[in-house]
Structure 1
């Protein structure tokens, strides 16, 4: 068994909240690929968990909304030939996903104003472009 999952900030998801499913994996494996259920699928019910505080749950649901199906986060791993290694890969992915979702938001970006020199350069460029285009025009009849 993989055991409980420890997240950033010391949060621990108990083993009884994690639901595992195993199936046959595609990819390398030779003769054993059709007999071994090495693909691991890990599901965790974010909406019903007792680990997260209500504001943390709301944050996770908002940030992972597109990945949740009825409040359940599902992560699959099938890149290894061994079920145990796929289980560990799924747990690692769950930890990384939840750590990203629970991370504080970066500070808002402050918009920079163009410098005086860049405004002067832009005006000069526009003036030159206008002059070039004016030279290409047909002379007026007046």
Structure 2
């Protein structure tokens, strides 16, 4: 089970894995060993609750395909098991972001003291600018 938070987890059987060769530098090893991992998680076919599925499908993320499949490519580490763990962690973070409900901001008014400070600063600044004008010697 992949634990997302205290009351949400995903069975590992719902996650598809594919070992692939990683890109980039690495010499002979990168050409011989399939150390990178492709993780595929089908949101529509998952055992997640319906409201969470809908939230996940509405995420604007390049890792989510039009078919509702989350694809994560992990190739940061040299070992396949480390890339496997990294891909699982990134999937859990993505689902946490999708499930998270932001706290609605309550608009507040500025305090009387802060308003008076702001107006005083404006007055001082305007006096300073006015004093930079031309001096009349009449």
Q: Same fold (TM over 0.5)?
A: yes
Q: CA deviation at 1:138?
A: 4.3
Q: CA deviation at 1:73?
A: 0.7
Match of 1:19 in 2: 16
- Give the counterpart of 2:2 among 5, 12, 31: 5
Residue segments in structure 1 that go unaligned for 5+ positions in a row: none
- Give the counterpart of 1:83 among 73, 80, 103: 80
Q: CA deviation at 1:33?
A: 2.1
- How many angstroms apart in 2 are the aligned matches of 1:79 and 1:43? 17
- How many angstroms apart in 1 are the aligned matches of 2:21 and 2:102? 41
Residue segments in structure 2 that go unaligned for 5+ positions in a row: none
- How many angstroms apart in 1 are the aligned matches of 2:25 and 2:69? 30
Q: Which has the higher helix share?
A: 1
TM-score by length of 1: 0.77
Task: Give per-residue Cα distances to partners, 1:76-104, cap 9 Å, x unaligned.
Answer: 1112212122112211221222123223x
The total of aligned residue pairs comes to 133
